[in-house]
């Protein structure tokens, strides 16, 4: 079986290279202009970066939103000596049912940013891999962490506790100011964003200026339309429950049940609590208020989950704390705008099935920090804008790999009456169960430890070829050959539209984009 896996991977590699070559025949870049990098004026006061703007700026950077992205960015830029003003609508501890799983790749970025202690003292749980369940069978997938320090693993926790820890750490820096307020609009002058208008917690209308404004006000952002082309898709909703005082079949692992009609997730968020997320396709969910949701969960969902969890699952339903959250997907499609930048869920979203959102956000912050670190004067708007264009290019390979994997896996894991889709789902489960490179390769992608776009395409089509091989052995029949052809066609129909939306050129060939070369020399 392992030999089949290797042969399938080789064939998939050849297929992937051919298809990407065909795609590459058409330019997918944004046509950024090639201009020589401009030398900026260096101004330092007591070793800290300082901007000059006729005395109008109190800060170097305004950050709209103090969620995972905003709080981490505030600490990162503040530690670099920038004067940072963070405006957050509500500084009390958030209470969400997503953003609770940080992949190992995201934890490595947390270490790189000096924020790893933010997962301490919040009862965070270590995660070492996943367990997949399908039709009474299960397989365990372990993160390939052998090359890393013993502290490196995934972490799962209450999202709000994690955010509060990062806010507190950012607030300890004397040049970072956190303020509760609602940003109503961006201030523009001659096409350049100069700051924001906002209302403080007392309802007073105020204005804040800075040479750089970073918008990271989350998935419900009301500011993103001026900075990007938002194409938001809502493929499903999560129904969230908390199971108490029970054990997972595989502790320290996320659990994915390939249920009908779509996946069910379980993972521990504290020493006594297990988060359950039931995916419901479409934008409408059964009503919670009239009891339809409880009935749906008990009759349709409960019989499909592992027996060890069914009693606690029913108890959680009866307790009544059932919550819902739409799952949004939005490719990054920015308008490079002088003086402004989008980040986090305001900028780019993917289905939360794979828990990759925080990894993308933290990776983006590392890219931005390294990119603008040499720019001591952020008031040179044209130069800053060109560097921000570089940010949009440099982030692409990592972010697009995680985004594409999330979208493709969700579609493969959903049940379908189509026989070819059924075969693809079965092939995916069995391929991951083979072990070796067939397991570690996809899990490396999922964990953010190896976010390489070509590796993703290779493994995706290796699964498809593996599925076709199973159909044709030991003796092919016309019906099976037809199903195999539709399986390959269906696999292409799943992954290539996602890749096209992400941008083929920037995802696979970023070095061909002029903005790639504006990265500062080290």
Give me the pLDDT at residue 515, please. Answer: 72
> Is the domain of 344 the same as that of 436?
no
> Is the domain of 467 the same as that of 409?
yes
- The band of 514, judged by pLDDT with boundaries at 50, 70 and 90, is confident
Lowest mean pLDDT among 147-161, 211-225, 424-438, 506-520: 506-520
Answer whether residue 10 shows pLDDT above 70. Answer: no
Strand partners, 228: 334
Q: What is the CATH number of the domain that holds 249?
A: 3.30.70
Give me the pLDDT at residue 23, please. Answer: 43
> Is the domain of 308 the same as that of 358?
no
Residue environment code for 134-153, b if the CB has 16+ CB neighbours within 10 A, otherwise e: beeebbbbbbbbeeeeeebb
> Is the domain of 247 the same as that of 334?
no
Q: Are 316 and 244 in contact (CB under 8 A)?
A: yes
Domain membership of residue 472 as a residue range: 403-507
Give me the pLDDT at residue 512, please. Answer: 83
DSSP state at residue 330: B
What CA–CA distance (Å, rounded) separates 390 from 517? 8
Which of 484, 437, 479 is CA-nearest to residue 459?
437
Q: Hey, is 510 helix, strand or coil?
A: helix
> Is the domain of 415 the same as that of 476?
yes
> Is the domain of 164 the same as that of 237?
no
Answer whether residue 189 shows pLDDT above 50. Answer: yes
Q: Are 16 and 457 in contact (CB under 8 A)?
A: yes
Q: Is residue 2 in some structural domain?
A: no
Mean pLDDT (whole number) for 320-328: 95
What CA–CA distance (Å, rounded) separates 486 from 69? 41
Q: Are 195 and 124 in contact (CB under 8 A)?
A: no
pLDDT digits (tens, 9 = 90+) for 75-90: 999 999 999 999 999 9
> Is the domain of 376 the same as that of 426?
no
Q: Is residue 48 in some structural domain?
A: no
DSSP state at residue 186: E
Q: Which two tokens stand for residue 312?
A: 């606690």
Domain stops at, among 329, 357, 382 = 329
> Is the domain of 287 the same as that of 225?
no
Q: Is residue 7 in some structural domain?
A: no
> Is the domain of 375 the same as that of 409?
no
Q: Hey, is 156 helix, strand or coil?
A: strand
- The band of 44, judged by pLDDT with boundaries at 50, 70 and 90, is very low
- The band of 58, judged by pLDDT with boundaries at 50, 70 and 90, is confident
Answer whether residue 54 shows pLDDT above 50. Answer: no
Q: Which two tokens stand for residue 52?
A: 């000059």
Q: Is residue 184 in some structural domain?
A: yes
Pure H helices in 434-477: 437-446, 453-472
Give me the pLDDT at residue 40, please. Answer: 31
Give burial (CB, 10 Å; 0-12/13-18/19+) of 67: buried
Q: Is residue 519 in some structural domain?
A: no
* Cα pseudo-dihedral 207, 204, 182, 177, rounded to 10: 60
Domain stops at, among 281, 301, 329 = 329
Q: What is the mean pLDDT of the chain?
A: 88
Q: Is residue 140 in some structural domain?
A: no
Q: What is the CATH number of the domain that holds 111?
A: 3.50.50.60
Answer whether residue 6 shows pLDDT above 80. Answer: no
- The band of 519, judged by pLDDT with boundaries at 50, 70 and 90, is low
Answer whether residue 304 shows pLDDT above 90. Answer: yes
Q: Hey, is 522 helix, strand or coil?
A: coil
Q: Is residue 45 in some structural domain?
A: no
Q: Which residue has the higher pLDDT, 476 or 39?
A: 476
Counting the structural domains of the chain, the total is 3
Answer whether residue 440 shows pLDDT above 90. Answer: yes
What CA–CA distance (Å, rounded) separates 335 from 421? 37
> Is the domain of 107 the same as that of 239?
no
Dihedral sign from CA coordinates of 346, 347, 351, 353? negative
What CA–CA distance (Å, rounded) separates 98 from 96? 6
Give me the pLDDT at residue 53, please. Answer: 43
Q: Is residue 317 in some structural domain?
A: yes
- The band of 517, judged by pLDDT with boundaries at 50, 70 and 90, is low
Answer whether residue 13 shows pLDDT above 90. Answer: no
Give me the pLDDT at residue 57, please. Answer: 59
Q: Are 264 and 278 in contact (CB under 8 A)?
A: yes
> Is the domain of 113 the same as that of 214?
yes
> Is the domain of 81 the same as that of 218?
yes
Give me the pLDDT at residue 179, please. Answer: 97
Query: What predicted TM-score, i.e. pTM, was given to this entire model?
Result: 0.88
pLDDT digits (tens, 9 = 90+) for 24-40: 444 343 333 333 222 23
Give me the pLDDT at residue 377, please. Answer: 84
What CA–CA distance (Å, rounded) separates 286 from 233? 20
Answer whether residue 22 shows pLDDT above 70. Answer: no
Domain stops at, among 371, 395, 419 = 395
Q: Which two tokens stand for residue 116?
A: 């790893």
Give me the pLDDT at residue 510, please. Answer: 84
- The band of 14, judged by pLDDT with boundaries at 50, 70 and 90, is very low
pLDDT digits (tens, 9 = 90+) for 423-437: 999 999 999 999 999
């Amino acid at each position: 079986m392992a030999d089949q896996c290797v042969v399938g991977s080789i064939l998939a590699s050849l297929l992937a290279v051919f298809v990407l070559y065909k795609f590459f025949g058409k330019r997918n870049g944004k046509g950024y202009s090639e201009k020589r990098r401009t030398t900026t004026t260096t101004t330092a006061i007591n070793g800290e970066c300082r901007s000059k703007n006729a005395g109008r700026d109190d800060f170097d950077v305004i950050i709209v939103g103090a969620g995972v992205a905003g709080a981490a960015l505030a600490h990162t830029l503040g530690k670099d000596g920038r004067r940072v003003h963070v405006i957050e609508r509500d500084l009390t501890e958030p209470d969400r049912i997503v953003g609770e799983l940080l992949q190992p790749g995201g934890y490595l970025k947390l270490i790189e940013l000096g924020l790893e202690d933010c997962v301490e003292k919040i009862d965070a749980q270590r995660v070492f891999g996943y367990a997949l369940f399908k039709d009474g069978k299960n397989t365990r997938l372990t993160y390939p962490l052998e090359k890393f320090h013993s502290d490196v693993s995934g972490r799962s926790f209450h999202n709000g506790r994690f955010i509060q820890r990062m806010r507190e750490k950012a607030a300890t820096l004397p040049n970072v100011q956190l303020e509760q307020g609602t940003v109503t609009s961006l201030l523009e002058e001659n096409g350049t964003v100069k700051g924001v208008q906002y209302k403080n917690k007392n309802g007073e209308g105020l204005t804040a200026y800075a040479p750089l404004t970073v918008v990271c006000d989350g998935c419900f952002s009301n500011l993103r339309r001026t900075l990007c082309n938002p194409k938001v898709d809502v493929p499903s909703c999560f129904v969230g429950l908390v199971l108490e005082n029970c054990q997972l079949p595989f502790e320290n692992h996320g659990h994915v049940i390939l249920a009908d009609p779509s996946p069910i997730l379980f993972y521990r968020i504290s020493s006594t609590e297990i988060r359950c997320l039931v995916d419901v396709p479409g934008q409408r969910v059964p009503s919670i208020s009239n009891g339809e949701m409880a009935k749906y969960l008990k009759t349709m969902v409960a019989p499909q989950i592992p027996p060890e969890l069914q009693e606690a699952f029913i108890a959680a339903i009866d307790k009544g704390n059932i919550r819902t959250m739409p799952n949004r997907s939005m490719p990054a499609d920015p308008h490079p705008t002088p003086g402004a930048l989008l980040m986090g869920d305001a900028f780019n979203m993917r289905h939360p099935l794979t828990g990759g959102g925080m990894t993308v956000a933290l990776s983006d912050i590392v890219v931005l920090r390294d990119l603008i670190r040499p720019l001591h004067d952020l008031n040179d708007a044209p130069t800053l804008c060109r560097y921000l264009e570089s940010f949009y290019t440099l982030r692409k390979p990592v972010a697009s790999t995680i985004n594409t994997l999330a979208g493709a896996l969700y579609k493969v894991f959903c049940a379908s009456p189509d026989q070819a889709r059924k075969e693809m789902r079965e092939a995916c489960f069995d391929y991951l169960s083979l072990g070796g490179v067939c397991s570690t390769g996809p899990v490396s992608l999922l964990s953010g430890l190896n976010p390489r776009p070509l590796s993703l395409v290779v493994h995706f089509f290796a699964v498809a070829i593996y599925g076709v091989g199973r159909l044709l052995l030991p003796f092919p029949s016309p019906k099976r050959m037809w199903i195999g052809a539709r399986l390959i066609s269906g696999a292409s129909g799943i992954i290539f539209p996602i890749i096209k939306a992400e941008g083929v050129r920037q995802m696979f060939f970023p070095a061909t984009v002029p903005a790639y070369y504006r990265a500062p020399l080290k």
